[in-house]
């Protein structure tokens, strides 16, 4: 498998064939893969990435979309937020305003 990170795309055929693998991200080039690991039977790929811009990958403004943990509570389970820090205001970013606040 050839590893390239020039364009943000990948699909099942590319992973199974001889095509070059590039990660699919909807991030306008703000994510750069820095380490790749492939599981022994080649059915899973782990990408470690470097963030630029707001240093956040989640649409909630957090660094990662994995910001909650499941904890036991009185015989049940609850979600506990692990990362309170927001790197950007999602309402502002997704409202159609630019950096100056103009539409």
pLDDT tens-digit readout, 67-95: 999 999 898 999 999 999 998 888 888 88
Q: Taking the model in full, what pTM does it have?
A: 0.49
Give the residue-averaged pLDDT of 22-31. 55
Instruction: Please check the confidence at residue 97 and state whether its pLDDT lies above 90.
Output: no
Give the torsion sign (CA, 44, 47, 53, 55).
positive
Confidence band (pLDDT; 50, 70, 90) for 21? low
pLDDT of res. 8: 43
Q: Write down the pLDDT at residue 30.
A: 62
CA distance 61 to 80: 17
Instruction: Say how far residue 18 (Cα) sits from the centre of its chain.
Output: 25
Mean local confidence (pLDDT), 43-51: 77
* Across 30-57, average pLDDT: 76
**At residue 13, does pLDDT exceed 80?**
no
């Amino acid at each position: 498998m050839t590893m390239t990170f020039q364009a943000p795309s990948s699909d099942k055929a590319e992973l199974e064939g001889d095509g070059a693998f590039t990660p699919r991200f909807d991030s306008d080039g703000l994510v750069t893969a820095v380490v790749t690991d492939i599981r022994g039977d080649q059915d899973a790929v782990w990408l470690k990435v470097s963030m630029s811009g707001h240093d956040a990958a989640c649409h909630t403004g957090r660094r990662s979309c994995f910001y909650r943990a499941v904890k036991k509570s009185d015989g049940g389970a609850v979600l506990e937020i692990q990362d309170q820090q927001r790197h950007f205001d999602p309402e502002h970013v997704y409202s159609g305003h630019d950096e100056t606040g103009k539409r």
